[in-house]
Amino acid sequence: MTGSCDKLFPYLEDVPRCVVCGYRTDYRYTNPSFLLKNKIRDLSSTYDGIYIASLKFKEFCSRYGYKNLVFKPLPKTPNFFQFYVEGNVIEYKFNFNENFCSACEMYESVIGPTMNLDHITEPLKDGFYQSDLWFASGNEKSPVLIVAPKTFQNLKTEKFKDLCEKQIEK
Ligand SMILES: [Zn+2]
């Protein structure tokens, strides 16, 4: 969406970035020139951790009444959207972090996402969730996207394929 871990696309001069560490400070910036090359998947992710959803996926979410979801149009890729969850935050743990920047209050790297299951006593209610921590390095940090078991079943029922799934059990 905006470049690599270390370097933003030079033409994106207006991406907000930290004056001290140089990494971006807006991880939900939409690149107006973004072109999606692989349009086979209904939900995919860019290298810098931005989820891209198809119109079919957006319509699925509205039909099932899922709230707290943001779909931002991509000017150069019609019928696909930058997708993220608002709120519905779940506590996560990490294995390792390094280089805290006191100016933007972000770590350069946060590695090894694991859900903190201590306070989770029952399956998540139907819907979409996100981790409280943002993982990966440099310009590529993003929260983990989590779907409830029921939501996952609904996605399967609607024949969404190639969903990168990792089941979490307590
Ligand atoms: Zn910084």
Span from the CA of 3 to the centroid of ligand 1 (angstroms): 17
Q: Is residue 69 part of a domain?
A: yes
Highest mean pLDDT among 22-31, 34-43, 86-95: 86-95
For residue 102, what are the domain limits? 43-157
Mean of pLDDT values over 131-146: 93
pLDDT at 105: 93
On whether residue 20 sits in a domain, the answer given is no
Confidence class for position 117, pLDDT limits 50, 70, 90: very high
Does residue 99 sit within a domain?
yes
Show the tokens assigned to 122: 């029952």
Q: What percent of the chain has pLDDT over 70?
A: 99
Give the distance (Å) from ligand 1 centre to CA of residue 124.
34
Q: Element (H or E) spanning 110, and its range?
A: strand 106-111
Instruction: Find the mean pLDDT for residues 33-41.
Output: 88
Which is higher by pLDDT, 109 or 7?
109
Residue 170 inside a domain? The answer is no
User: Which of 49-53, 88-92, 160-164 is least confident?
Assistant: 160-164
35 assigned to some structural domain: no
Residue 164 pLDDT exceeds 80: no
Confidence (pLDDT) at 47: 86
Q: Ligand 1 center to residue 42 CA distance, Å?
A: 34
d(CA 130, CA 91): 9
What pTM did the predictor assign? Answer: 0.90
91 versus 1: the higher-pLDDT residue is: 91
* d(CA 92, ligand 1 centre) in Å: 22
| pLDDT (0 to 100) of residue 37 | 87
pLDDT band, residue 170 (cuts 50/70/90): confident
How remote is the CA of residue 107 from the centroid of ligand 1, in Å?
Answer: 8
Residue 150 placed within a domain: yes
Whether 85 is covered by a domain: the verdict is: yes
C-alpha of residue 77 to centroid of ligand 1, in Å? 31
Ligand 1 centre to CA of 17 (Å) is: 8
Say how many Å lie between the CA of residue 114 and the centre of ligand 1.
24
pLDDT digits (tens, 9 = 90+) for 120-132: 999 999 999 999 9
Contacts 24+ apart (CB under 8 A), 132-136: 132/89, 132/90, 132/91, 132/92, 133/92, 133/93, 133/94, 134/27, 134/106, 134/110, 135/94, 135/110, 135/111, 136/5, 136/49, 136/109, 136/110, 136/111
Answer yes or no: is pLDDT of 85 > 90.
yes
β-partners of residue 17 are 24
The pLDDT value recorded for residue 74 is 95
- The tally of domains found in the chain comes to 1
Inside any domain, residue 3: no
